[in-house]
Structure formats: structure tokens, C-alpha cells
């Protein structure tokens, strides 16, 4: 009996659990486990791990704590990994929280990087009808998500406030029975903001998201409108919203154009001067008008990476001097890197966020898997058009090949290179981007600007995290937001 007990409880030999690795130029090796927890090893430690000859008790403790090795027969590490993996994917059951309504294609701006086929203000045939709006609300409520966010886009949505009002009121009416958590956001350049819009936003708890590319000359150069006063109108709109509804009711988003390169400090300073302490250093996207050859090569991803690094160095410097500033994309990555939470950001999820995280209802009743899918359609590529509100049911929209095929093919757990990548758990699948740039939903990752950008961001954040105690502390604070 005594002998049997000993046999059953004796630790078995060491064995690997699934892990991936990436070499650093300074000789260190990054090791990540199957839920994205990481550790840096020296070359000698990594060899010991590879050969399962781990003599150093401290190293063995670390690798066991990170679920990179276990003793044969142990079940707890696998159960913990399974629990964490399930938690990272829990959003899948409550899919499609974001519902975007393109209430019009009309806009009084004519931005060079505009991602839609903008129409002039007089072209009211490009407005969403009441019938389409009500059908879209109905479809949104078929989503199982307990949180529904309605985002109004354009064109310029303030040019079709009638439909913004209708969708908001219809959703709130329906929700009396449903009891879900609703949120409403108008994505607007704010040039046409007036008291009526503010009254409506006040009454229905509507938020605003606006575009701010940086200092006046840069913003106005990027965003032409009659009067060349886009920046002045945006800033005036931000001020009015804050005064009337509160500081938190308006956020801003910038797009990095070729003209932005070399000006990242000025852009960050502009955000701080305007009272924004969150800034998303966002590259221009390759869709819509921005895909046209003239704009397409305006800059490559290497230039954006330099822009990002300089911006982050400055942001860390500002924080160290007591001025809080957060880089939004880095904060989302750090949440995935340093916690087990999934922030649900569309570009950093796998399976991809198309359809699962967001649906888009176009002015004409077409339903797309994402805003980018709609932009492709404006250029004649219908790959990500899921169907039409007038003809298709929710079930056919969500179970058609247009959605399920790219979701399956682009899944990073099985896609070439991604499935072996040490960063896989922090990254995401972007089938629309890869389709737009290479013609298939997976793409070739060594040539992918999406992959190059994310690898550069992951490497930058890890370098600062491991080398700089202040950055480490700050990054944990960002991850906990």
C-alpha cells in the first residue's frame, strides 16, 4: 500500500506545455505560453527549457508558474490554461455589441484620406430611409449581446439627424422590454453641431466621437471644407459639448497622414492643449479613397513605426514629468499582454471581429461585416457584403459564407506564421485588411503591414517594459483601465 501511494504521488518527468518563442537581437528569448503569459530567458535558459534539463530551481519555478512545463501526470496546469483560454474567449457567446449605422454618405468635408465614397451635401438620395433604419434596429436586437452600442457614421451623420433620432428612439422603445445596456455615439466632424443636436444628445445620453488630426494647419490641410475652417469648427464643437454635456462626452481620433510624419510631438501637444489625455496614433487605412494609387504610397509602415516610437517615447517622457497621457492602441495591447482580459477591440481579436464584434448597416440597406468591408464595396469589391436588410434574415446574414469563411481562414490559431508566432495571443486577425491588400483573407505575414505594425508595437512595449521601471509601472496602470 505504502509503495503504491509513493508511485502515484511521485512527480513524473518534466514535459513541455504548448509554448512559442521569439528571439531578441540582444540574445534574450521571449517565451509565451498558450494564453499569452510571457517570460524572457537567456540563451542558456532557453536551451535548458528546450532540452528539459532545468537544473536551476528558480528557473524551474518560473517555467512551472508560467505553465510552460509541467510534471507528467499533473492536471492543474492544463486546467488553469483551459480556464484562462475560455475567459479570453468569453465574448464570443455574447457576440455583436457594436452596430454601426451609415445614415448618409453626404459630407461637407472632402478629406483626401476619406474612407467612403463621400457625396456632396445636396445628394439626399444617399440618405438612409426610415424603413431601413427600423429594420436595422430590429436586426441589432437579434444579437445576443447584453450591451448594444449604436454608432452613427457617414458621411457626416449630422446631415441626417432625422434618422439618428429615429434609430435612437426606436432602440430605446424596444429596450423597455429587453432591458439591455444601450450606448449611442455620433461620429461627427462637429462642423454642423447646433443646439438642437445638443438638446437631443442631452435627452438621450448620446456621446460624440470626432476627428482631430493635430495642430490647426495639419488638420485643415488633411480635412478641406468650404471656408477651410475644419479645425476651428471641431474645436468649437468640442468646447460646446463639454460645456453643455460634460468633458467625458466627446472623444477624438487622429489619422496619421504623410503630412503628420515628423510632427508627432506637435500632435500630442495639440491633444493636451485641447484637454484630451487619450491619443490613438492611428495609421491611415488602405480603404476607400485612401486605396487610390496617388495616396496609397503616401508612406509605408516603416515610417509609421518611427512615428509611433517617437510618439511613445514622448508620451512616456510626459507621464514621467507628471502629465498623464495614454496611447490608446498600446493600452489595448497591454491589457492583453499583462492581464487575462480581452478588451474586445475589433483589430485585436481572433476569431476576427468582423460580424462577431461589429455589424454595419449601410444607408441603402446593405449589411457589411465591418466598416472596412463597406469601404471596399464602395470601390466595387462586394466580398464582405453579408446581405440586405430587405431580403435577408438575421440568421442568413450571420451564417453565410461571406462571414464564416474569412472568420475560419484568418483564425490566428491556425493561420500560417500566426499559429507559430510568440505574439499570437496579443494580436488579432484582420481578414478585410489582408483581402484589400493581398486578395486573400490571410495574406503573407512577412509582407503584411498589419503584421509589421503589430510586431513593432509588441516589441517596443516589451523593450520599455523590461528596461524601464517607470514604463513598467505605467503600463500596468494602462492595462488595468
For ligand SF4, which stretch binds (CB under 6 A), given 31-39, 236-244, 450-458, 462-470? 450-458
By CB under 6 A, is residue 417 in contact with ligand SF4?
A: yes
Binding residue for ligand SF4 (CB under 6 A) from 37, 151, 327, 424? 424
Q: Distance (Å, rounded) from C-alpha 403 to C-alpha 406?
A: 6
Q: Distance (Å, rounded) from C-alpha 309 to C-alpha 315?
A: 10
By CB under 6 A, is residue 445 in contact with ligand SF4?
A: yes
For ligand SF4, which stretch binds (CB under 6 A), given 70-78, 189-197, 410-418, 434-442? 410-418
By CB under 6 A, is residue 337 in contact with ligand SF4?
A: no
Tell me the per-residue interface mask from 80 to 119 with ligand SF4, x by CB under 6 A, - otherwise: ----------------------------------------
Question: Which of 251, 417 has the CB closer to ligand SF4?
Answer: 417
Burial letters 383-417, b for 16+ CB under 10 A, else e: bbbbbebeebebeebbebebbeebbebbbbeebee
Write the CA distances from 351 to 61, 111, 175, 183, integer angstroms: 33, 32, 29, 24
By CB under 6 A, is residue 418 in contact with ligand SF4?
A: yes
Binding residue for ligand SF4 (CB under 6 A) from 333, 451, 457, 474? 451
CB atoms within 10 A of CB 257: 22
Contacts (Cβ under 8 Å, ≥6 apart) of 450: 430, 433, 434, 443
Q: What is the DSSP letter of 429?
A: -
- Smallest distance, ligand SF4 to C-beta of residue 189, A: 32
Q: Within 13 Å of residue 443, how many CA atoms lie on the same side as its CB?
A: 20
Binding residue for ligand SF4 (CB under 6 A) from 105, 337, 386, 455? 455
By CB under 6 A, is residue 411 in contact with ligand SF4?
A: no
SS3 state of residue 395: helix
For ligand SF4, which stretch binds (CB under 6 A), given 33-41, 215-223, 233-241, 416-424? 416-424
Partners of 32 in the beta sheet?
20, 38
- Smallest distance, ligand SF4 to C-beta of residue 350, A: 8
Q: Distance (Å, rounded) from C-alpha 117 to C-alpha 378?
A: 6
Binding residue for ligand SF4 (CB under 6 A) from 360, 412, 436, 461? 412
For ligand SF4, which stretch binds (CB under 6 A), given 297-305, 362-370, 395-403, 423-431? 423-431
- Smallest distance, ligand SF4 to C-beta of residue 303, A: 19
Q: Distance (Å, rounded) from C-alpha 224 to C-alpha 226?
A: 7
By the 8 A CB rule, do 128 and 102 touch?
yes
Q: Total number of residues binding ligand SF4 (CB under 6 A)?
A: 11
Give the footprint of ligand SF4 on this chain (CB under 6 A): 412, 417-418, 421, 423-424, 427, 445, 451, 454-455
Amino acid at each position: 500500500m505504502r509503495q503504491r501511494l509513493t508511485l502515484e504521488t511521485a512527480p513524473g518527468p518534466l514535459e513541455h506545455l504548448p509554448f512559442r518563442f521569439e528571439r531578441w537581437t540582444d540574445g534574450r528569448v521571449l517565451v509565451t505560453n498558450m494564453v499569452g503569459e510571457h517570460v524572457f530567458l537567456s540563451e542558456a535558459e532557453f536551451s535548458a527549457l528546450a532540452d528539459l534539463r532545468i537544473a536551476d530551481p528558480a528557473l524551474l519555478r518560473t517555467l512551472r508558474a508560467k505553465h510552460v512545463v509541467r510534471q507528467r501526470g499533473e492536471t492543474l496546469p492544463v486546467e488553469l490554461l483551459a480556464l484562462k483560454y475560455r475567459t479570453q474567449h468569453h465574448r464570443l457567446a455574447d457576440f455583436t455589441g457594436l452596430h454601426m449605422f451609415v445614415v448618409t454618405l453626404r459630407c461637407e468635408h472632402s478629406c483626401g484620406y476619406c474612407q467612403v465614397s463621400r457625396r456632396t451635401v445636396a445628394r439626399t438620395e444617399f440618405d438612409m430611409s426610415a424603413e431601413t433604419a427600423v429594420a436595422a434596429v430590429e436586426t441589432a436586437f437579434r444579437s445576443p449581446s447584453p450591451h448594444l452600442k449604436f454608432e452613427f457614421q457617414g458621411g457626416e451623420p449630422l446631415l441626417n439627424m432625422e434618422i439618428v433620432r429615429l434609430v435612437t428612439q426606436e432602440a430605446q422603445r424596444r429596450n423597455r422590454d429587453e432591458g439591455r445596456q444601450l450606448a449611442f455615439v455620433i461620429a461627427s466632424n462637429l462642423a454642423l453641431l447646433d443646439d438642437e443636436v445638443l438638446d437631443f444628445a442631452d435627452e438621450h445620453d448620446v456621446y460624440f466621437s470626432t476627428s482631430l488630426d493635430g495642430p490647426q494647419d495639419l488638420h485643415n490641410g488633411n480635412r478641406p471644407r468650404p471656408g477651410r475652417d475644419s479645425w476651428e469648427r471641431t474645436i468649437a464643437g468640442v468646447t460646446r459639448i463639454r460645456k453643455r454635456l460634460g468633458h467625458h462626452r466627446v472623444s477624438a481620433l487622429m489619422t496619421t497622414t504623410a503630412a503628420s510624419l515628423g510632427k508627432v510631438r506637435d500632435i500630442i501637444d495639440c491633444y493636451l492643449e485641447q484637454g484630451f489625455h487619450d491619443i490613438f496614433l492611428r495609421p491611415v487605412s488602405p480603404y476607400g479613397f485612401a486605396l487610390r494609387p496617388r495616396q496609397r504610397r503616401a508612406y509605408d509602415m516603416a515610417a509609421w513605426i518611427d512615428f509611433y516610437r517617437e510618439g511613445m517615447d514622448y508620451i512616456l517622457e510626459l507621464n514621467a514629468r507628471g502629465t498623464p497621457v495614454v496611447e490608446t492602441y498600446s493600452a489595448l495591447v497591454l491589457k492583453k499582454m499583462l492581464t487575462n482580459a480581452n478588451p474586445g477591440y475589433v483589430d485585436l481579436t481572433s476569431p476576427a471581429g468582423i460580424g462577431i464584434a461589429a455589424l454595419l448597416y449601410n444607408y441603402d440597406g446593405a449589411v457589411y461585416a465591418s466598416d472596412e468591408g463597406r469601404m471596399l464595396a464602395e470601390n466595387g469589391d462586394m466580398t464582405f457584403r453579408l446581405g440586405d436588410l430587405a431580403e435577408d434574415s438575421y440568421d442568413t446574414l450571420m451564417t453565410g459564407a461571406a462571414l464564416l469563411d474569412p472568420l475560419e481562414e484568418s483564425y490566428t490559431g491556425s493561420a500560417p506564421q500566426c499559429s507559430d508566432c510568440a505574439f499570437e495571443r496579443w494580436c488579432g486577425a484582420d481578414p478585410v485588411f489582408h483581402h484589400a491588400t493581398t486578395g486573400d483573407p490571410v495574406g503573407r505575414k512577412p509582407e503584411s503591414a498589419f503584421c509589421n505594425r503589430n510586431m513593432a508595437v509588441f516589441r517596443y512595449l516589451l523593450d520599455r517594459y523590461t528596461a524601464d521601471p517607470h514604463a513598467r509601472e505605467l503600463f500596468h496602470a494602462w492595462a488595468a483601465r
